[in-house]
Chain A
Amino acid sequence: MKRRKFIKTTAAGAVGVSVLPLLLKNVDGLLADTNYPRAVWVENGEPAQLLQTALKEIGGMKRFVSKGDVVVIKPNIGWDRAPQFAATTNPDLVAELVKECLNAGARTVKVFDRTCNTPRRCYQNSQIEKKAKAAGAEVLQIRDNRFKKTAIKGKVIKNWPIYKDYLEADKVINVPIAKHHSLSRVTLGLKNLMGVMGGNRGEIHNNFAQKLVDITSTILPTLTIIDAYRILTDNGPVGGNLAHVKLCKTLIASPCTVSADYLALELFGHQIKDVQHIAEAAKRGLNKYDLQSLNVKRIKLS
C-alpha cells in the first residue's frame, strides 16, 4: 500500500466513522418521527386500557424508556381528595404506567409530587401511594433538602429551586389530570410541572404565563400523558363537588407537552388564545411539533 493511499483511506475512514452515526441517528430520528403519530387521543375505555392503546400507537414504552433507566412519574397528587373528585390523577392509570416502565426495563420508577394539602393525606386519599407502590414504584415524600437552585434562561425568572430527583432522572413522564383552574383557566401538562418546583410557588401566580413558561422550558418531560378519565370542569383545581366532575374516559399522550395540552383544550371547549400560558409556550416555541398541522391518531375503543 502506498503511503498516499493509506492516508486517503484513513482520512476517508475517519470521516466515515465520525459522520455515519450522526447520519444514522438522523435517519432513526426521522423514521421515529414519521412512523409514529405526534400525539394519540384515545377515548371510551378504562384507565389501564386507554394507556395500553395509546402506548401501542405511539411506539411502545420502549421508545421512551431504556433498560436501566431511572424514571420519574409526576402525577398530580396535590390535594386531599378521593379519586372520584377528579382533583388528582387517576391512581389506576399511575399504577399501570409504573408497570409499563418496569416492563420496558426501568431500574427504578419514582413517583412524587409537592402537594398543596398535607402530603401524607394527599398521598393516601388520592390512592396513588398505595396503588403505585403495589405496582412496584418508589413513592416518596418530598424532602425539603432536595431542591436544587437551577438556572433558568427565562424572561422574568433567572433561577428557581427544582427537585433533584426530577433533574437527575433519565426519563420523566408527566401525568397531569385535566382540570379547571381559575387563574390559568385549565391545568394540564405544563401547569402540573409546578409540582417539582420548590420555593414560594404562590409568587409564580402573578404574571403567571410568563413565569410558568420560563421555568417549564428548562424541565420539559420525555412524555406527557394527560389523564382525562374524569375531568374537573369547575371549582378547580381543588374541586370537591361531584357535579363538576365529568366522566370523559379519555387519555391524551404525546412526547410534546405543549401539543398534548393544546389537544386537551378540546375537552373544555377552549381556544388556545383563551389560555395564556399555553399560548405563551407556543409563541416561544416550546412545542416540538407544529400545532396547526399536528398529526394526531384518534381512537375510539368500543
Chain B
Amino acid sequence: MLAKIRRIAQVLFLLFFIYLFIKARYPYEPLIDSDLFLRFSPLIPLFDFIKNLHISLLFWPALIIIVLTLFFGRFFCGWICPLGAVLDLTSKILKPPSNQTSRKWRKLRYLKFAVLSGMVILAIFSIHVWSYLDPLSIFNRVLTIVIYPLATLLAENTLLGITYIPFLEDGSYFIFDNFKMFLMPENQAHYQQLFGIALFFGIILGLEKVSRRFWCRYLCPAGAWLGLLSQFRFLERIVGDTCPDCDKCQIECKMNAIPEGDVKQTDKVECIECFNCAESCPPKIKAITYRWRWKPYHTPIDFKRRQFMQTTLGSFLALGLINLGLSNREKKDRLIRPPGAVPEEQFLDRCIRCLECVRICESNGACLQPDQIHTSVLELWLPVAVMREGYCEYNCNLCGQVCPTDAILPLTLEQKQKTPMGLAYFDKNVCIPFAQNQDCIVCEEHCPTPEKAIKFDIKEIILEDGSAKKVKYPYVVKDLCIGCGICETKCPLQGAPGIFVTIENQKRISDNELIS
C-alpha cells in the first residue's frame, strides 16, 4: 500500500519537475516559479551556509526537506528526487542484479561520504564543486542539453516527414502546428558540451546494471547528507515474530539497507523509505509493518577514520591543483556571462550548473550555452554566451528570473537594458565594408539600443576606373553598446564574424547593488 503511494508520488514529482522545466520559456507567466523544484536540493543550504555563514530563506523548500529528514529519514531520495525516479524506471529496463550478487560493491558505501566531505573541505576553502554532483542539477542539466533537444529532433522530423505522404499532409501539419504552439515551440537547439553531459548522465544510468540505485547507494552527496541527518528518524520498520527469515526483503531492498543475516534491523542512513520490503514479504506472512516509535538510536555510518583522512588529503591535493593552474587572461576574453551575473568569483561559487538559464534562453535569443574548460575546471558547464550562435534579446530578462540561487540576479528589464554584458569590436580584416569597400551594415540595422551603439561614417573611395563611390564604414560607440551580441549573430559572413563581443566593459552586479 505505502509502496504504491510512493510510486505514484514519484511519478507525480517527476512530472511536476518536467512541467516546471517546460514552463521555463517565453512567454514566462508562471503560476509557480520554474526554479522552485531546483531549490529543493538539500545540498544548496548546506553549501550556502558554509559560504555565507547564515541560513538563506530563499532556499525554504530545501530547508523544509532538511528539517523533515531529521525525523522522517531519507524520504526525499525515495519519494521526491526526480533522478531517483528515473533510476527506478531505468532499473525496470536494465534489470539490475540482486543484492546477493552485487554484494561485493557494498564496501563502496563510504564513497558518498567521501564525496560529501571532500566537497565540504573544498567549499571551506571557497571552491564549490559540489553542484556537478547535485542530483537535481544533474537532472535539469541533462533535460536541457540532451533530452529536450532530442525530443524536439524526433518529434519535429517525424511529423514533418509524414507531411510528405500526400493524404496525411494536412493532418500532420495540424498536429505539428499545435505541437509547436503548445508543447515545443523552441527551435531545434544545438549545444556544445552535449557529449560530456550525456555521457555523465549515461554513466549514472548505466551503473544501474551493477546494482540497484548504484548512484544513490554509493555516490550521491545529497544522499550522504540526508543520511547523516536521518539519525532521529522515528518512522520505524517493525518486523514481527512471524518472520521466517526468508531474506526476501533483504535481497529486494533497493538500497541494500537491511543487514544480511539480521532482517529485523534497518540501516537508517541508507533506507530511503520506499516501503518495498513490506511488499516483498510473502503474502501469507506479512510480518513487516511501519510504526511511529520515538526511540532514537545510532546507526553507524560507513565512513572509517582512515577513509576520512584519505579524503581530506585528496581534497587538499585537489584544492592545490585547482588553484595552481594558470588563469590565462587571454582566454577570458569571450567568457561572457548572462546579464545580471554576480562577479565571476562569486558566480563560480553560487552557480549550481543546473542550466535553467540556458533552457529559458533557448526560447529567446538563444545565446547561452554550457561553457567548456578554458583555464579552470570550475568553468565547466557554467552558462556562457556564444554570440555567433545566438544573441541576448533586448527585451528579455528571463535568465535572472529563473536562476534558483541568484547567481544571475533578477534584474528588471530597465536595469538589464543598461547592464553591458560586454563590448563589440570590429574585425576589420574580414568585415565587408573594410575588407571589400562594399556597403553592408547589417550589424547597425539590428542594433537594438534606443540610440544605436553602432554608427557609421560615410567615406568616398576611388574605384579602379577612377570613379568615386560612397561606402558606409561602421564603428562602435562604447558608451552605448551593451554587448548583446545581435551584431555578431547576424553578421552575414559565413564563418568568423566581422564584429564580435568581448568581456571588455562588462558590468557585474552584486546583491547590494540590486536593491538600490
A binding-site residues for B, Cβ under 8 Å: 80-81, 116-118, 120-121, 124-125, 140-141, 143, 145, 181-183, 200-203, 205-208, 235, 237-238, 240-241
Are A182 and B26 in touch, CB under 8 angstroms? no
Q: Which residues of B441-474 have CB atoms within 8 Å of chain A's CB atoms?
A: 441-442, 444-452, 456, 472
How distant is the Cα of A256 from the Cα of B365 in the complex, in angstroms? 36
Are B490 and A125 in touch, CB under 8 angstroms? no
Are A120 and B442 in touch, CB under 8 angstroms? no
Q: List 18 A-B contacts (CB under 8 A).
A: A80-B393, A80-B394, A81-B395, A118-B26, A121-B393, A140-B177, A141-B185, A143-B160, A183-B472, A202-B490, A202-B492, A205-B440, A205-B441, A205-B442, A205-B445, A206-B438, A206-B440, A207-B439
Partner of B445, one of A117, A121, A181, A203: A181
Residues of B within 8 A of A121 (CB): 26, 364, 393, 395-396
Does any Cβ of A come within 8 Å of B65's Cβ?
no
Residues of B within 8 A of A203 (CB): 492
How distant is the Cα of A125 from the Cα of B177 in the complex, in angstroms? 20
Q: Which B-chain residue is minimally distant from A207 (CB atoms)?
A: B438
Q: Which A-chain residue is minimally distant from B490 (CB atoms)?
A: A202
Does any Cβ of A come within 8 Å of B491's Cβ?
yes
Residues of B within 8 A of A240 (CB): 394, 448-450
Q: Which B-chain residue is minimally distant from A183 (CB atoms)?
A: B441
How distant is the Cα of A105 from the Cα of B144 in the complex, in angstroms? 46
Give, as a whole number of angstroms, the nearest-CB distance from B239 to chain A: 58
Does any Cβ of A come within 8 Å of B432's Cβ?
yes
9 nearest A-B pairs in the assembled complex, by CB-CB distance: A202-B492, A241-B450, A206-B438, A202-B442, A240-B450, A205-B440, A80-B395, A206-B440, A203-B492
Partner of A118, one of B364, B438, B444: B364
Are A182 and B441 in touch, CB under 8 angstroms? yes
Q: Which B-chain residue is minimally distant from A239 (CB atoms)?
A: B450
Does any Cβ of A come within 8 Å of B259's Cβ?
no
Give the number of residue pairs across the A-B interface with Cβ within 8 Å.
80
Does any Cβ of A come within 8 Å of B27's Cβ?
yes
Are A237 and B394 in touch, CB under 8 angstroms? no
Are A205 and B439 in touch, CB under 8 angstroms? yes
Are A206 and B393 in touch, CB under 8 angstroms? no
Q: Which B-chain residue is minimally distant from A206 (CB atoms)?
A: B438
Does any Cβ of A come within 8 Å of B507's Cβ?
no
How distant is the Cα of A81 from the Cα of B26 in the complex, in angstroms? 15
Give, as a whole number of angstroms, the nearest-CB distance from B336 to chain A: 19
B binding-site residues for A, Cβ under 8 Å: 26-27, 160, 177, 180, 185, 363-366, 393-396, 432, 436, 438-442, 444-452, 456, 472, 490-492
Give, as a whole number of angstroms, the nearest-CB distance from B173 to chain A: 9
Q: Which B-chain residue is minimally distant from A187 (CB atoms)?
A: B445
Q: Which B-chain residue is minimally distant from A200 (CB atoms)?
A: B492
Give the interface centre of B436, B448, B451, B490 by most chain A CB atoms within 10 Å: B448
Give, as a whole number of angstroms, the nearest-CB distance from B92 to chain A: 37
Residues of A within 8 A of B436 (CB): 206
Give, as a whole number of angstroms, the nearest-CB distance from A164 to chain B: 12
Q: A145 with B160: in contact, given A120-B27, A121-B393, A240-B450 (CB under 8 Å)?
A: yes
Residues of B within 8 A of A140 (CB): 177
Q: Which A-chain residue is minimally distant from B492 (CB atoms)?
A: A202
Q: Which B-chain residue is minimally distant from A125 (CB atoms)?
A: B395
Give, as a whole number of angstroms, the nearest-CB distance from B392 to chain A: 11
How distant is the Cα of A109 from the Cα of B6 in the complex, in angstroms? 52
Q: Which B-chain residue is minimally distant from A85 (CB atoms)?
A: B450
Q: Which B-chain residue is minimally distant from A241 (CB atoms)?
A: B450
Are A208 and B439 in touch, CB under 8 angstroms? yes
Partner of A206, one of B27, B395, B432, B445: B432
Are B450 and A206 in touch, CB under 8 angstroms? no
Give, as a whole number of angstroms, the nearest-CB distance from A161 to chain B: 15
Are A141 and B180 in touch, CB under 8 angstroms? yes
How distant is the Cα of A201 from the Cα of B396 in the complex, in angstroms? 24
Give, as a whole number of angstroms, the nearest-CB distance from A156 to chain B: 12
Are A235 and B160 in touch, CB under 8 angstroms? no
Q: A206 with B439: in contact, given A80-B394, A118-B364, A140-B177 (CB under 8 Å)?
A: yes
Residues of B within 8 A of A183 (CB): 439-441, 444-445, 472
Residues of B within 8 A of A235 (CB): 450-452
How distant is the Cα of A231 from the Cα of B324 in the complex, in angstroms? 59
Residues of B within 8 A of A125 (CB): 395
Give, as a whole number of angstroms, the nearest-CB distance from A37 to chain B: 34
Residues of A within 8 A of B180 (CB): 141
Residues of B within 8 A of A207 (CB): 438-439
Residues of B within 8 A of A241 (CB): 450-451
Give, as a whole number of angstroms, the nearest-CB distance from B88 to chain A: 36
Q: Which B-chain residue is minimally distant from A208 (CB atoms)?
A: B439
Are B472 and A116 in touch, CB under 8 angstroms? no
Give, as a whole number of angstroms, the nearest-CB distance from A9 to chain B: 48
Residues of B within 8 A of A120 (CB): 26-27, 185, 363
Q: Which B-chain residue is minimally distant from A201 (CB atoms)?
A: B492
Are B393 and A116 in touch, CB under 8 angstroms? no
Residues of A within 8 A of B177 (CB): 140
Apart from the given pairs A203-B492, A205-B445, 4 other A-B contacts in the complex at a CB distance below 8 Å? A183-B445, A201-B492, A207-B439, A241-B451
How distant is the Cα of A124 from the Cα of B26 in the complex, in angstroms? 10
Are A118 and B451 in touch, CB under 8 angstroms? no
Give, as a whole number of angstroms, the nearest-CB distance from A273 to chain B: 14
Are B492 and A116 in touch, CB under 8 angstroms? no
How distant is the Cα of A206 from the Cα of B364 in the complex, in angstroms? 28
Are B395 and A238 in touch, CB under 8 angstroms? no
How distant is the Cα of A141 from the Cα of B478 in the complex, in angstroms? 36
How distant is the Cα of A121 from the Cα of B439 in the complex, in angstroms? 29
How distant is the Cα of A238 from the Cα of B27 in the complex, in angstroms? 21
Residues of B within 8 A of A118 (CB): 26, 363-366, 393
How distant is the Cα of A166 from the Cα of B284 in the complex, in angstroms? 73
Give, as a whole number of angstroms, the nearest-CB distance from A94 to chain B: 20
How distant is the Cα of A202 from the Cα of B486 in the complex, in angstroms? 13
Give, as a whole number of angstroms, the nearest-CB distance from A182 to chain B: 6
Give the interface centre of B438, B440, B449 by most chain A CB atoms within 10 Å: B440
Give, as a whole number of angstroms, the nearest-CB distance from B428 to chain A: 16
